[in-house]
Each structure stands twice: as C-alpha cells, then as structure tokens.
C-alpha cells in the first residue's frame, strides 16, 4: 500500500507544481475528477493508458511519476502539522518550539 500512496502523492505533487487542478487534469485525460482524487489519495492505481494520459496532461515523463525521492511533505502539509502541534502544546513547549524554529529560520 505504501507504494500506491507514494505514487499518489507524487502525482499530486507534480500536478500542484504545474498549478493544475484535479478537474483540469481529469479533463485533459478524459476521466472523472473523482478518479484523479482516488489516484492521488492512493486508493486506486491507474491503468497504463491513464498513466500515459496523466503524463501528457501534466507534461512529465513517465519516469517522473515514479520518482519517489520527492515524497516529503509539501510546505502546506508542514504548516498544517505545525499548527496542530502548536494547538496541543502548553506555554512552556510553545516557548521552546518558538526558540528552535527561530534559530532554524534565522
């Protein structure tokens, strides 16, 4: 399952980098946007024909879809995760987290 999830995340990342919506990719591929969503969420793996269409729609090479070296979270996902942690932290932990983040950023 991890491979399908990684693949889905890679498709989502490539799509987002090209500033395309799921609807735009779906339209270019001749498929339903819900199907694109299921691919990106790792619930469904596309057929070879759909893989070829995804590549054309996003202007990427087939090998780019399977390059999982970039499976880290997006900045948006990191921000969301940090916000969740901040909401759970007490005042002492917030101060420590602030100092650490400040030291890393500056």
> pLDDT: is 74 or 67 the higher one?
67
pLDDT at 8: 94
> pLDDT: is 23 or 5 the higher one?
23
Give, to the nearest 10 degrees, the angle between helix 33-40 and helix 22-29. Answer: 110
pLDDT at 25: 98
Neighbours of 33 (CB within 10 A): 15
pLDDT at 28: 98
pLDDT at 3 over 90: no
pLDDT at 42: 93
């Amino acid at each position: 399952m991890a491979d399908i999830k990684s693949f889905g995340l890679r498709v989502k990342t490539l799509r987002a980098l090209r500033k395309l919506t799921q609807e735009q990719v779906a339209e270019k591929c001749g498929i339903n946007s819900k199907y694109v969503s299921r691919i990106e969420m790792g619930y469904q793996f596309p057929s070879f024909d759909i893989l070829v269409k995804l590549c054309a729609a996003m202007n990427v090479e087939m090998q780019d879809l399977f390059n999982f070296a970039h499976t880290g979270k997006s900045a948006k996902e990191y921000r969301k995760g940090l916000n969740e942690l901040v909401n759970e932290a007490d005042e002492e932990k917030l101060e420590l987290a602030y100092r650490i983040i400040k030291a890393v950023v500056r």
